Amino acid sequence: MNNSEIPTKVILAKWTDRFFAWLIDFIVISAISTALIFGAFGTLDYGEESFWAESSQYIPTSLIFFAYWTILEFKTGQTIGKKILNLKTLGIQGDNPTLKGVLINSFGKSFLLPFDVVLGWILTNEKRQRIFNKLGDTIVVKIKESDETSNMEYMKD
C-alpha cells in the first residue's frame, strides 16, 4: 500500500468474528493435519500409548498452523476464515503487516492462544489486540468487500 491507500479510519474486528474466523481455520487445518497423520501412520488409533501419541501431535500440528497463518497473513492479510468473514490483518498504522509482525502474531495463535487471548482481553482491549498482536504491531479489521477493489480502474483492450 502506498500512503494514499492507507485508511484513516478502520473498523476493528469484533472478538466474535475473529473467533469464528479462527474456528474456520482450525477446522480446515485440523482436517489437513489429521489426514497427514493418518496418511503417515495408516491409523488414528494409537493403542495403549494413546495419550503420549496424541500429545506428540501438538507440536507438528501447531507448526502447520504457524506456517498457514504466517504465509497467508503476510502475503494477503487474510486466511480462509478471515476471507469468509471479511476480516484482514494489518499493521498498526493500517498498512500491510511486516513479516516480523506476522511471525510474532502467528506464534501466539499457534502455540499460546488461550494465554494470548485472555491477556489481550485484559490488557489491550482498546484496539482489540491479543498480546501477540500488540507485540507484532498488528490489528485485525473488518473490511467491506468493495475495499479490495475500490482503487481499481477498469479498462478495455
The arithmetic mean of pLDDT across residues 86-98, rounded, is 93
Residue carrying C-alpha cell 504466517:
70
Strand (E) or helix (H) holding 11? strand 11-12
The arithmetic mean of pLDDT across residues 101-121, rounded, is 91
Query: Is the predicted pLDDT of residue 69 greater than 80, yes or no?
Result: yes
The answer to whether residue 7 sits within a structural domain is no
What pTM was estimated for this model as a whole? 0.77
* Mean confidence (pLDDT) of the chain: 82
The answer to whether residue 155 sits within a structural domain is no
Residue carrying C-alpha cell 511486516:
98
Look at the chain and report how many structural domains it folds into.
1
The answer to whether residue 4 sits within a structural domain is no
The answer to whether residue 54 sits within a structural domain is yes
The arithmetic mean of pLDDT across residues 126-133, rounded, is 90
What is the domain extent for residue 16?
12-144
The pLDDT score that the predictor gives to residue 101 is 96
